[in-house]
Chain A
């Protein structure tokens, strides 16, 4: 399959996605898009700077792939044509297959080990010291080592070639020395010692066998557990719908999801999965978006609202126009982000890496010292056997694989858990850093508040009722571009009020508007505007007082030169902001509100939200300095914003958290993206980071403690007093257990409450 994939959509519409090389900024993408769009036969082009690709819909009778590539090249950019694009699906398939093969091979090796090894272990344990017993054990053990244990030896050989030593070296040395010693003892018993001709010299075939079997068993358990750590991604992948019902040329047809193209009309019935991202054209329904946002309550979707692929339609039927397809959908972006996060390293991993690097040589030295210590200090006849036992046990118990698993398994489970709760974490580093956050700086508009002003009060004077006043005001404001005007118009529309056409319309900047509606002269604006027009302001004044400390913007309405009413508009606090902020304060985190608004407005919102520390009247470009100022005071700062005008501050903060609106997952500037647009995710993300870090620390502790206790015991420090010498079998069981316990401990993160 070529990187450039064609999807033929019928006789005269084709779509193609090609990867672009050489883009540095969004302007590059825009220009390529523009050039593609104006070339002949192209009906739509969408160049994505983040994913580095161009999605083009074209008429194959007028142009072709070669010509489109030429357009890109003429624009000064290039098209990748060689490497195969890595989609999450084929990567997943590949990983899945790898894992399956690994498990199958492990199982057959384990089976051979068990069938041949059980008699060996039985003979060894029963102390049947007849000569034949040694020969039988040898015959059975040899294939186990060379088939079941082969990869340990080839691994050890490979690292030896690179003049390195790893866990395979330890296993190979341990089992290998037990095996070779036993081989000699069986074939040339006289070389070892010369008791009697009838009795067999002690052999350690059963130790070598049992070590291999137990290690394989440990690996199999570990592979199973590790497979579970990727569950989060797998369940995201399976969310995607397979087919979509689209309306093309007036005909409904079911097509595979891959062939849905931009601006296709997609039909969704109750109970069906939404196939791709888009904008509702007609119909109304409630949609369960919990799989993407973690929000359990269904969301109402009306025409104009955005819907996302993989979410579940509940009650009604609707049609939507596809806006993002293929690799651009929110789901696919999430999957990409989580995959790269799971593959990334946390800084704490370096500790484990450094330790493993020097660990193996140290263990080898300890094992050799142990061997000679026994040879020199023991007075028993069996001192060679004792020395060998201790040597093998030290090598086996010290295998550092638990150390290697400690960090990555926790990162994989942690970031997967985050994704399932609507928290996307950029990588191991962000996940680690977030647990040290001391201060959370919250942007006000769009973060604590909804960012969309809402009409909160409508006070009318005289005979006016609310709807007629609103209808008049909205009709007058419908051509105004003021944000407050938009709020009034959209509120009137949502109440199904029918707006009239103004006969005349005049806008006075900073003051208000004047319009003739249905023969009435309507004035809308602030108090100064009313005074200018000689309107008696007493009715206004009497009602305006109570809004003094409310952070609301007031719009005065006069009809036919008489005060008619006041409309109060305010940016409301998001439903869960207060709850989320008190949660953060409970976690001993300093919460600061940062806003460009006036002090009084800011204080009012802060009071409602429960924030004590407010930095108001800050220009957008000063936000960065504010964050930097906190950092120089030694604070670890998380900045939370919508990523629209606070990207520099997000980037400056130790952890930049962007609040997603669902549509654009602005992952570039931020370390953490909250898909669900409310603040509860901030506390959850910090809790998740804390939980992940403590899991990693527990894992490292487990891995170390096994060795700290295990190595001396295996070396025989308890022997002089308690006569305890660890058998190599027990050592291998302990070592297998340590890996399994580390992976299991990481899996526990799945059930942590965040």
Chain B
């Protein structure tokens, strides 16, 4: 189990946070996603085996760029 923190400048509101949760929440290996709207941060709890580049790709597909 590990936690990855990402930052996306595209996060603006509650709707964005929901969108992120929906976009990657069901991703294999992800157990929890929380979004800090103010800090534009995404905190992802996931298994060791989960591919971070895949998560970033899924976020990008949903329209969230990440500069990590």
- Chains A and B bind each other: yes
Q: How far is the CB of B11 from chain A (nearest CB, A)?
A: 8
* CB atoms of B23 and A75 under 8 A apart: yes
Stretch at the interface among A31-39, A146-154, A188-196: A31-39
* CB atoms of A76 and B22 under 8 A apart: yes
* CB atoms of A75 and B63 under 8 A apart: yes
Residues in B whose Cβ lies below 8 Å from that of A24: 13-16, 18
Give A32 to B23 CA distance when docked, in angstroms.
12
* CB atoms of A75 and B19 under 8 A apart: yes
Tell me whether chain B's interface is mostly helix, strand or loop, or mixed. Answer: helix
Does residue A100 face the partner (Cβ distance < 8 Å to B)? no
With beta carbons under 8 angstroms apart, the residue of A25, A34, A35 that contacts B16 is: A25
Q: How far is the CB of A52 from chain B (nearest CB, A)?
A: 11
| B-contact 0/1 string along A17-52, CB 8 Å cutoff | 000001111111001101100000000000000000
Residues in B whose Cβ lies below 8 Å from that of A706: none
* CB atoms of B14 and A34 under 8 A apart: no
Provided the pairs A75-B23, A76-B22, A76-B23 are in contact, do residues A31 and B61 lie with their beta carbons within 8 angstroms?
no
| B-contact 0/1 string along A206-225, CB 8 Å cutoff | 00000000000000000000
* CB atoms of B18 and A76 under 8 A apart: yes
Q: How far is the CB of B49 from chain A (nearest CB, A)?
A: 23
Residues in A whose Cβ lies below 8 Å from that of B18: 22, 24, 76
Residues in A whose Cβ lies below 8 Å from that of B14: 24-25
Does residue B20 face the partner (Cβ distance < 8 Å to A)? yes
Does residue B12 face the partner (Cβ distance < 8 Å to A)? yes
* CB atoms of B63 and A77 under 8 A apart: no
Q: How far is the CB of B62 from chain A (nearest CB, A)?
A: 5
Does residue A89 face the partner (Cβ distance < 8 Å to B)? no
Q: How far is the CB of B39 from chain A (nearest CB, A)?
A: 16
Provided the pairs A22-B19, A31-B19 are in contact, do residues A76 and B12 lie with their beta carbons within 8 angstroms?
no
With beta carbons under 8 angstroms apart, the residue of B10, B21, B22 that contacts A27 is: B10
With beta carbons under 8 angstroms apart, the residue of B16, B21, B22 that contacts A31 is: B16
Give A74 to B20 CA distance when docked, in angstroms.
10
Give A27 to B18 CA distance when docked, in angstroms.
13
Residues in A whose Cβ lies below 8 Å from that of B22: 73, 76-77
Q: How far is the CB of B10 from chain A (nearest CB, A)?
A: 7
Give A442 to B3 CA distance when docked, in angstroms.
52
Give A384 to B16 CA distance when docked, in angstroms.
75
Residue on B nearest A49 in the bound complex, by CB: B15
Give A464 to B13 CA distance when docked, in angstroms.
57
Provided the pairs A76-B18, A76-B19 are in contact, do residues A27 and B12 lie with their beta carbons within 8 angstroms?
yes
Provided the pairs A32-B63, A74-B61 are in contact, do residues A25 and B13 lie with their beta carbons within 8 angstroms?
yes
Residue on B nearest A28 in the bound complex, by CB: B15
* CB atoms of B62 and A35 under 8 A apart: yes
* CB atoms of B21 and A35 under 8 A apart: no
Residues in A whose Cβ lies below 8 Å from that of B13: 24-25, 27-28
Residues in A whose Cβ lies below 8 Å from that of B64: 31
Provided the pairs A35-B61, A76-B62 are in contact, do residues A27 and B23 lie with their beta carbons within 8 angstroms?
no
Give A25 to B15 CA distance when docked, in angstroms.
7
| A-contact 0/1 string along B9-44, CB 8 Å cutoff | 011111110111111000000000000000000000
Residues in A whose Cβ lies below 8 Å from that of B21: 76
Give A22 to B20 CA distance when docked, in angstroms.
12
| B-contact 0/1 string along A248-277, CB 8 Å cutoff | 000000000000000000000000000000
Give A25 to B12 CA distance when docked, in angstroms.
7
Residues in B whose Cβ lies below 8 Å from that of A35: 61-63
Provided the pairs A22-B15, A25-B15, A27-B12 are in contact, do residues A76 and B61 lie with their beta carbons within 8 angstroms?
no
* CB atoms of B19 and A77 under 8 A apart: yes
Residues in B whose Cβ lies below 8 Å from that of A73: 22
Q: How far is the CB of A78 from chain B (nearest CB, A)?
A: 9
Give A207 to B18 CA distance when docked, in angstroms.
66
Residue on B nearest A34 in the bound complex, by CB: B63
Residues in B whose Cβ lies below 8 Å from that of A28: 12-13, 15-16, 19
With beta carbons under 8 angstroms apart, the residue of A23, A26, A34, A76 that contacts B20 is: A76
Provided the pairs A25-B15, A25-B16 are in contact, do residues A74 and B10 lie with their beta carbons within 8 angstroms?
no
Residues in A whose Cβ lies below 8 Å from that of B11: 27
Give A31 to B61 CA distance when docked, in angstroms.
10
Residue on A nearest B12 in the bound complex, by CB: A27
Q: How far is the CB of B7 from chain A (nearest CB, A)?
A: 15
Residues in B whose Cβ lies below 8 Å from that of A77: 15, 19, 22
Give A145 to B14 CA distance when docked, in angstroms.
59
Residues in B whose Cβ lies below 8 Å from that of A31: 10, 16, 19, 62-64
Q: How far is the CB of A259 from chain B (nearest CB, A)?
A: 30
Residues in B whose Cβ lies below 8 Å from that of A32: 63
Residue on B nearest A35 in the bound complex, by CB: B63
Residue on B nearest A36 in the bound complex, by CB: B63
* CB atoms of B62 and A75 under 8 A apart: yes
Residue on B nearest A75 in the bound complex, by CB: B62
Q: How far is the CB of A24 from chain B (nearest CB, A)?
A: 3
Give A22 to B18 CA distance when docked, in angstroms.
8
Residues in B whose Cβ lies below 8 Å from that of A25: 12-16
Residue on A nearest B11 in the bound complex, by CB: A27
Give A40 to B51 CA distance when docked, in angstroms.
26
Q: How far is the CB of A637 from chain B (nearest CB, A)?
A: 29
Give A22 to B13 CA distance when docked, in angstroms.
11
Q: How far is the CB of A72 from chain B (nearest CB, A)?
A: 10
Give A35 to B22 CA distance when docked, in angstroms.
15
Give A31 to B20 CA distance when docked, in angstroms.
12
Q: How far is the CB of A54 from chain B (nearest CB, A)?
A: 13
Residues in A whose Cβ lies below 8 Å from that of B61: 35, 74
Q: How far is the CB of A148 from chain B (nearest CB, A)?
A: 55
| B-contact 0/1 string along A198-209, CB 8 Å cutoff | 000000000000
Residues in A whose Cβ lies below 8 Å from that of B12: 25-28
Q: How far is the CB of A500 from chain B (nearest CB, A)?
A: 42
Q: Which of A26, A34, A74 has the most CB of B within 10 A?
A: A74
* CB atoms of B62 and A23 under 8 A apart: no
* CB atoms of B62 and A27 under 8 A apart: no
Give A587 to B11 CA distance when docked, in angstroms.
47
Residues in B whose Cβ lies below 8 Å from that of A27: 10-13, 15-16
**In the A-B complex, the 8 residue pairs with the closest CB atoms:** A76-B19, A24-B15, A27-B12, A31-B63, A25-B13, A76-B22, A28-B15, A24-B13
Q: List 6 A-B contacts (CB under 8 A).
A: A25-B13, A28-B16, A31-B64, A35-B63, A75-B62, A77-B15
Binding site for A on B (CB under 8 A): 10-16, 18-23, 61-64
Binding site for B on A (CB under 8 A): 22-28, 31-32, 34-35, 73-77
Given contacts A22-B19, A27-B16, 10 further A-B contacts (CB under 8 A): A22-B15, A27-B12, A27-B13, A27-B15, A28-B15, A31-B10, A32-B63, A73-B22, A76-B22, A76-B23
